[in-house]
């Protein structure tokens, strides 16, 4: 099946004073139609930057190398008006902080309708009907009133639902959700995840779910990619990753997830050390300093991402678990 | 301190410093190059255009007075008023702001309210009011001008004083029994000089402009003394016949103000201050 | 929102009151009287004049009478222009100054804002640098330098426009004065718009707007302009102040019969009531501007409307 999104050897770096900061290093991935891919990593791992590059939302100073293709459109080579045909209609993105993501002085109705007016060439009044329907689909009560309100009159969870609705108005082929629940309370998180799950199924749309929280990703993703220091270190179908993680970093992440069913432990497991800063140079495997299985080889030779032997399971490690 | 490095990389600011230095030198030493003074009426050379031959390099005005000498006098007026005026507004502003910020509470609120009311109106009108009362003249000019700059200075100083108030060395001083006045003078003031110097630098061109403005309207410097403002006023009346009386002081004033502003902006960027009201 | 406005109004009235009082008592502090300028008058005549103008009463009584007269819009007689009351002079001169000022302010906004937008879109390009350099010049060079120079170039050398004088309904006479008056606020507005827009474009909600595939002009006009214009709205009272100050110069040089010229003449002639009347008028105008700006703020940023 042809991929709806294909990223080919992507490198994203920034100039900061004299230093060059490499946020994304040589990443390749594909998202198939109607597939949900979860991207997991710490802050600074490059997961957000990568998809900002896909959407061409990075500032002018960013240096992007490689290939990004969405549904046949060359995202890096196209002019603004070509990008704008695709962005917001077939390729959409929702962001982490719903409190600041909506324009404060425009009504919810205005911000929803403009998507339809711009992309579907509807009239403002026609778009309003569709906007109301969408608000109902994302389970916002009293949608008529909400359309007339401004963002600051809605709670965080409601604003995020509006964002989701806004991104689905034109039936996108791919929705990129960047930390959609990180800024919300736990109870609200569960609601958002549920909405995403239902709508994704109903609309048969591909999704990229970016999060530092493995739990959130596991709830929705078909396949999970783990990123560390700008690179993909492991990729596997969801169940396989959770049950038989091959990369030591993934294993450590899984161990850190508290299991409510298990007996209480005296000490919560945590991963010592911190991820390297994006401005540091690489020598060998970026995870080696923190890896309990590190060998001499790991510090000099960077492991490449390759098939682990099991179908569909790639890992970048010289000595993967379970090998 | 980063100030030096910041300015050095700013070519406009360097040029401006050179210009201002040239002005000061010219104002101080210039008259010695010319045989003419500001008052002598040279009836042989009434309203003559500037010429490098002869002694009237900048030409003469309708009364035969040498424009070179008068322009230099105007420059001296501007520079001295700028200097004295900003020192006055510095002193008043620091005193007001330091007390207000340090003492805090109701006193602070009252003093700030006072400043708010005053800054809501263009001081120029009040100064004009004052000239009606006290008459025009040089001595009064300095006072009136000091009245312009101290308001924003006081605000800045107060802000600084508020943050300094919480610092450790202040607590130490209070604990050792020092009185408020002593603390303000010995501890608060010396520590807020950084941004204050920059704002003082920025008030100099404001004050010079204000003085020229008053003189232009006839409310400032009086005959026979010259200010760039009076020269420009004179020139404005002579544009059809003796245009040099206009454009020479205009150019000099404009260049001076531009240079001072560029230096002030450069200083502000070098010290990285963000909350100046004027950007 | 009405409560918000009424509260601001209530705060403004004491300010105006203080100004009137301050102006009045400052005037009374003057050594000598308004008639000193004339050749020495015999004391009986001076006494008569003083009685006629009500200057022989105690200060407090004069103050009370002045306030009462003010409430009726009567600023008192002009000491210099003996046949006119200050109110009449204001009525004569105000329309001219008003016309001048309104045109200047409108031009400053209509030209300055688009210039600022263009400069911000070409951030760090030569267009931006040049525009901002020009803005610095516009801000620092005073009006009383600009206007005569303009007159020199366009009036004397090029003979395109008249340098001075005023005829009702004649636009040519207004071109140079209005230009000189417009330049400083225009420079300020364009600089401010540019800076503010650059700042606003970095907001998260602008990123969302781009992600929605909206074209650039829509993102700027619909999403960025209103927040970006907030500082510009805040600049309106100082802009009006700067224009009022500038009008003093412009009217004096160009010989326009507006109230600015009266103020200057009044100051030179030590005409108390005239100067006081002007000061009060100007202050009232500025305070009114401040209130209008508050209303504008509330419209630009809906969040303010709800904080009463």
Mark yes or no for CB contact C26/B133 under 8 Å.
yes
Contacts of A91 (CB under 8 A, 6+ apart): A5, A54, A55, A70, A71, A172, A173, A174, A176
Question: Who contacts B154 (Cβ-Cβ below 8 Å, separation ≥6)?
Answer: B92, B93, B94, B96, B97, B100, B115
DSSP class per residue in B130-162: HHHHH---HHHHHHHHHHHHHHHHHHHHHHHHH
**A9 pLDDT higher than 90:** yes
Q: How far is B38 from chain C (nearest CA, A)?
A: 22
The crossing angle, in degrees rounded to 10, of helices A108-119 and A156-168 is 10
Greatest Cα pair distance in chain B: 76
The chain C residue lying nearest A150, using CA atoms, is C302
Chain A residues 118-157 with CB within 8 Å of chain C: 118-119, 150, 152
Q: What are phi and psi of A16, to 5 degrees?
A: -130, 100
Q: How close does chain A come to C1, measured CA to CA in Å? A: 16
A84/C213 touch (CB, cutoff 8 Å), yes or no: yes
Contact present, C229 and C193 (Cβ < 8 Å)? yes
Is B13 in a helix, a strand, or coil?
helix
Whether C237 contacts C8, CB under 8 Å: no
In whole angstroms, give the CA distance from residue A126 to residue A5. Answer: 31
C237 contacts in chain B (CB < 8 Å): 120
Write out the H or E segment, with its range, that includes residue A321.
Answer: none
Q: Is A12 exposed, middle or buried (0-12, 13-18, 19+ CB in 10 A)?
A: buried
The confidence score (pLDDT) of residue A112 equals 95
Instruction: Return the residue in B216, B223, B246 with the most chain C beta carbons within 10 A, the one to mutate for interface testing.
Output: B216
Q: What are the backbone angles phi and psi of residue A68, rounded to the nearest 5°?
A: -130, 120
* Angle at B49 (CA atoms; ends B44, B55), nearest 5 degrees: 60
The per-residue pLDDT for C83 is 67
All residues of chain B having their beta carbon less than 8 Å from the beta carbon of residue C17 are: none
- More confident site: A218 or C74: A218
The pLDDT, as a whole number, for residue B122 is 67
Which phi and psi (to 5°) does residue A110 adopt? -60, -45
Within 10 angstroms of residue A316's Cβ, the number of other Cβ atoms is: 24
Instruction: Give the Cα separation of C302 and C308 in Å (integer).
Output: 12
- The Cα C67–Cα C64 span in angstroms is 5
Closest CA to C255 of C179, C182, C173: C173
> Rounded to an integer, what distance in angstroms lies between the CA atom of residue A80 and that of residue A83?
5
C-alpha distances (whole Å) from A88 to each of A165, A172, A220, C221 are 11, 8, 22, 18
Give C229-269 as a DSSP string: THHHHHHHHHHHHHHHHHHHHHHHHHT--SHHHHHHHHHHH
pLDDT of residue A261: 67
| End-to-end CA separation in angstroms for chain B | 24
Q: Which residue in chain C has the smallest CA separation from A59? A: C202
User: Are residues A102 and C208, on separate chains, in Cβ contact within 8 Å?
Assistant: yes
Interstrand relation of A174-178 and A91-94 (parallel, antiparallel or unpaired): parallel
pLDDT tens digits along A161-205: 999 999 999 999 999 999 998 888 888 888 889 999 998 888 889
pLDDT at A124: 92
d(CA B216, CA B210): 10
**pLDDT band at C80, cuts 50/70/90?**
low
Burial (Cβ within 10 Å: 0-12, 13-18, ≥19) of residue B242: buried
Question: Which of A273, B120, B258 has the alpha carbon at shortest distance from C283?
Answer: B120
Of C213, C218, C227, the CB nearest to A119: C213
Contact C148 B236 (CB under 8 A): yes
Angstroms from B184 CA to nearest CA on chain C:
31
Q: Which residue of B has its CA nearest to C260?
A: B125
Please indicate whether, in this complex, the C-beta atoms of B254 and C141 are within 8 angstroms of each other.
yes
Contact C186, C199 (CB under 8 A): no
- Give the pair of three-digit tokens for residue C180: 């000189």
pTM: 0.81
Instruction: Give the three-class secondary structure for A203.
Output: helix
Please, are residues C3 and C304 in contact by the beta-carbon 8 Å criterion? no
**Omega prior to B224 cis, within 30 of 0:** yes
C234 Cβ under 8 Å from any chain B Cβ: no
DSSP string, A22-36: EEEEEEEEEEETT-E
Name every chain A residue with its beta carbon within 8 A of the beta carbon of C216: 80
Residues of C in contact with B212 (CB under 8 A): 142, 144
Nearest to A92 by CA among A57, A59, A64, A61: A57
Q: How many residues does chain C have?
A: 308
Question: Between the ranges A188-197, B69-78, B197-206, where is the mean pLDDT highest?
Answer: A188-197
Residue C99 CB burial class (10 angstroms; 0-12, 13-18, ≥19): middle
Find tokens 């201050």 and name the residue.
B273
Interface contact C266-B209, CB threshold 8 A: no
Residues of B with CB under 8 A from a CB of C: 117, 120-122, 124-126, 128-134, 205, 209, 212-213, 216-219, 229, 232-233, 235-236, 239-240, 243, 246-247, 250, 253-254, 257-258, 261-262, 265, 279
CA distance C153 to C147: 10
Report which of A197, A196, A130 is spatially closest to residue A161, judged by C-alpha positions. Answer: A196
Above 60 in pLDDT, residue B11?
yes
Distance CA C176, CA C191 (A): 23
Residue B279 has, within 13 A of its CA and on its CB side, a CA count of 17
Of C27, C142, C241, nearest to B212 by CB-CB distance is C142
Q: How confident is the model at residue A11, as a pLDDT?
A: 93
The helix/strand/coil state of B108 is helix
Of C205, C212, C227, the CB nearest to A115: C212
C159 φ/ψ sector (left φ>0, alpha ψ -120 to 50, else beta):
left
Is the predicted ipTM greater than 0.85, yes or no? yes
pLDDT band at residue B278 under the 50/70/90 scheme: very low
pLDDT tens digits, C37-57: 555 667 777 677 666 666 666
Third-level CATH fold of B3-31+79-270: MetI-like fold (1.10.3720)
- Euclidean distance between CA atoms C176 and C100, whole angstroms: 11
pLDDT band at B8 (very low <50, low <70, confident <90, very high): low
**Mean predicted lDDT score pLDDT of chain A:** 88
Q: How far is A67 from chain C (nearest CA, A)?
A: 19
Distances (CA, A) of C69 to C61, C64, C73: 12, 9, 6
List of residues 6+ apart from A192 with CB closer than 8 A: A157, A160, A161, A164, A180, A181, A184
Residues in C touching A102 (Cβ below 8 Å): 205, 208
- pLDDT tens digits, one per residue of A265-295: 667 677 777 777 777 777 788 888 888 888 8
The pLDDT tens digits of the residues spanning C215-233 come to 999 999 999 999 899 888 8
What pLDDT score was predicted for residue C53?
A: 64
C134 contacts on B by Cβ (under 8 Å):
none
Does the CA dihedral A160-A165-A170-A173 come out positive or negative? positive
Per-residue pLDDT reduced to its tens digit, A21-41: 888 999 999 999 889 999 998
DSSP for B174-240, written as a single string? HHTT--HHHHIIIIIHHHTHHHHHHHHHHHHHHHHHHHHHHHHHTSSS-TTS--HHHHHHHHHTTTT
Q: Are the beta carbons of C211 and A93 separated by less than 8 Å?
A: yes
* Domain boundaries along the sequence of chain B: 3-31+79-270
Residue with tokens 């002085």: A105
Of C139, C163, C245, the CB nearest to B124: C245
Question: Are A95 and C207 an interchain contact pair (Cβ–Cβ within 8 Å)?
Answer: yes
Contact C222 A84 (CB under 8 A): no
Structure token pair of residue B247 = 């454009």
Q: Say which range, A18-32, A81-95, A290-304, B144-158, has the weakest mean pLDDT.
A: B144-158
> What DSSP character marks residue A87?
B
Q: Which pairs count as long-range contacts for C128-133, CB under 8 Å and 24+ apart, including other chains? A: C128/C194, C131/C190, C131/C194, C132/C191, C132/C194
What count of other Cβ atoms lies within 10 Å of the Cβ of residue A58? Answer: 16
Does the distance separating the beta carbons of C303 and A114 come in below 8 Å?
Answer: no
Scan residues 297-316 of A and list those with Cβ closer than 8 Å to C: none
Q: Do C211 and A81 touch (CB under 8 A)?
A: no
Confidence of residue B3 (pLDDT cuts 50, 70, 90): very low
- Please indicate whether, in this complex, the C-beta atoms of C205 and A104 are within 8 angstroms of each other: yes
**Interface contact A114-C302, CB threshold 8 A:** no
Contact status of C20 with chain B (Cβ, < 8 Å): no
Give CA–CA dist C258/B93, Å, rounded. Answer: 35
| Ramachandran sector of residue C249 (left: φ over 0; alpha: ψ -120 to 50; beta: rest) | alpha
Touching pair B, A by Cβ (3+ pairs < 8 Å): no
Check residue B97 and give left, alpha or beta (phi > 0: left; psi -120 to 50: alpha).
alpha
pLDDT tens across C231-265, in order? 888 888 888 888 888 888 888 888 788 888 888 87
Using a CB-CB distance cutoff of 8 angstroms, which residues of chain B are in contact with residue C27?
Answer: 129, 132-133
Going by DSSP bridges, is the β-strand pair A206-211/A174-178 parallel, antiparallel, or unpaired?
A: parallel
């Amino acid at each position: 099946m042809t991929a709806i999104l294909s990223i080919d050897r992507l490198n994203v770096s920034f100039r900061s004073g004299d230093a060059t900061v490499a946020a994304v290093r040589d990443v390749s991935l594909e998202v198939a139609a109607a597939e949900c891919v979860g991207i997991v990593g710490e802050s600074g791992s490059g997961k957000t930057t990568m998809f900002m590059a896909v959407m061409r939302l990075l500032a002018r100073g960013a240096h992007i190398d490689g290939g990004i293709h969405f549904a046949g459109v060359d995202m890096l080579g196209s002019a603004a008006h070509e990008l704008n045909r695709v962005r917001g209609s077939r390729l959409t993105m929702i962001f982490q902080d719903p409190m600041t993501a909506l324009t404060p002085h425009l009504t919810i109705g205005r911000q929803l309708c403009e998507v339809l007016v711009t992309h579907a060439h509807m009239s403002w009044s026609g778009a309003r009907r569709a906007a109301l329907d969408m608000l109902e689909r994302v389970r916002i009560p009293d949608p008529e009133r909400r359309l007339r309100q401004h963002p600051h009159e809605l709670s965080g969870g409601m604003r995020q639902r509006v964002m989701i609705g806004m991104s689905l108005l034109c039936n996108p082929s791919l929705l990129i959700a960047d930390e959609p629940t990180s800024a919300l309370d736990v109870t609200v998180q569960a609601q958002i995840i549920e909405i995403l799950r239902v709508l994704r199924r109903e609309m048969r749309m591909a999704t990229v779910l970016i999060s530092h929280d493995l739990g959130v990703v596991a709830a929705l993703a078909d396949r999970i990619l783990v990123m560390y220091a700008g690179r993909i270190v492991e990729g596997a179908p969801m169940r396989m990753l959770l049950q038989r993680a091959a990369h030591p970093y993934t294993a450590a992440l899984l161990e850190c997830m508290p299991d409510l069913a298990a007996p209480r432990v005296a000490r919560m497991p945590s991963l010592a050390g911190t991820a390297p800063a994006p401005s540091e140079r690489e020598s060998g495997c970026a995870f080696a300093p923190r890896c309990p299985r590190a060998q001499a080889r790991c510090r000099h030779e960077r492991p490449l991402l390759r098939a682990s032997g099991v179908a569909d399971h790639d890992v970048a490690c010289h000595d993967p678990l379970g090998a | 301190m980063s100030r030096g490095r910041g300015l050095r990389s700013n070519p406009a600011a360097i040029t401006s410093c050179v210009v201002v230095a040239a002005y000061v030198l010219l104002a101080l030493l210039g008259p010695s190059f010319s045989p003419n003074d500001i008052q002598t009426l040279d009836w042989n050379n009434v309203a003559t255009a500037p010429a490098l031959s002869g002694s009237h390099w900048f030409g003469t005005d309708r009364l035969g007075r040498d424009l070179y000498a008068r322009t230099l006098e105007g420059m001296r007026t501007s520079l001295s008023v700028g200097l004295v005026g900003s020192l006055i507004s510095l002193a008043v502003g620091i005193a007001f702001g330091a007390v207000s910020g340090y003492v805090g509470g109701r006193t602070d609120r009252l003093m700030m309210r006072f400043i708010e009311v005053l800054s809501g109106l263009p001081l120029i009108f009040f100064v004009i009011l004052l000239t009606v009362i006290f008459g025009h003249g040089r001595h009064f000019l300095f006072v009136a001008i000091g009245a312009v700059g101290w308001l924003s200075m006081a605000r800045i100083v107060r802000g600084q004083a508020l943050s300094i108030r919480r610092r450790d060395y202040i607590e130490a001083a209070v604990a050792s029994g020092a009185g408020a006045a002593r603390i303000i003078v010995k501890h608060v003031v010396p520590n807020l000089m950084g941004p204050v110097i920059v704002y003082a630098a920025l008030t100099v061109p404001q004050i010079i402009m204000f003085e020229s403005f008053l003189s232009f309207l006839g409310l400032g410097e009086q005959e026979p003394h010259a200010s760039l403002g009076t020269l420009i006023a004179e020139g404005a009346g002579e544009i059809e016949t003796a245009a040099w009386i206009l454009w020479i002081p205009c150019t000099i004033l404009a260049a001076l103000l531009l240079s001072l502003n560029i230096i002030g902006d450069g200083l502000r960027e070098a010290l990285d201050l963000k909350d100046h009201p004027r950007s | 929102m009405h409560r918000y406005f009424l509260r601001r109004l209530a705060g403004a009235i004491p300010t105006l009151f203080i100004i009137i009082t301050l102006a009045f008592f400052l005037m009374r502090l003057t050594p000598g009287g308004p008639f000193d300028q004339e050749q020495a008058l015999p004391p009986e005549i001076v006494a008569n004049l003083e009685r006629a103008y009500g200057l022989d009463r105690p200060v407090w009584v004069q103050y009370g009478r002045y306030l009462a007269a003010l409430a009726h819009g009567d600023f008192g007689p002009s000491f210099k222009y003996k046949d006119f009351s200050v109110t009449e002079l204001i009525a004569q001169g105000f329309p001219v100054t008003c016309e001048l000022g309104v045109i200047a302010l409108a031009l400053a906004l209509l030209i300055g804002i688009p210039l600022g937008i263009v400069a911000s879109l070409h951030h760090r390009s030569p267009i931006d640098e040049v525009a901002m350099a020009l803005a610095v010049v516009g801000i620092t060079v005073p009006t009383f330098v600009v206007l005569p120079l303009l007159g020199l170039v366009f009036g004397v050398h090029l003979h395109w426009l008249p340098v001075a004088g005023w005829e009702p309904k004649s636009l040519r006479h207004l071109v140079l004065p209005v230009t000189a008056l417009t330049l400083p606020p225009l420079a300020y507005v364009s600089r401010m718009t540019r800076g503010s827009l650059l700042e606003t474009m970095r907001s998260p909600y602008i990123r969302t707007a781009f992600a929605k595939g909206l074209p650039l002009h829509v993102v700027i006009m619909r999403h960025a302009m209103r927040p970006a214009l907030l500082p510009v709205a805040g600049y309106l009272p100082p802009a009006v102040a700067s224009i009022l100050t500038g009008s003093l110069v412009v009217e004096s040089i160009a010989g326009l019969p507006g109230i600015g010229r009266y103020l200057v003449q009044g100051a030179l002639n030590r005409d108390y009531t005239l100067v006081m009347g002007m000061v009060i008028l100007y202050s009232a105008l500025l305070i009114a501007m401040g209130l209008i700006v508050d209303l504008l703020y509330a419209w630009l940023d809906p969040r303010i409307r709800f904080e009463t």
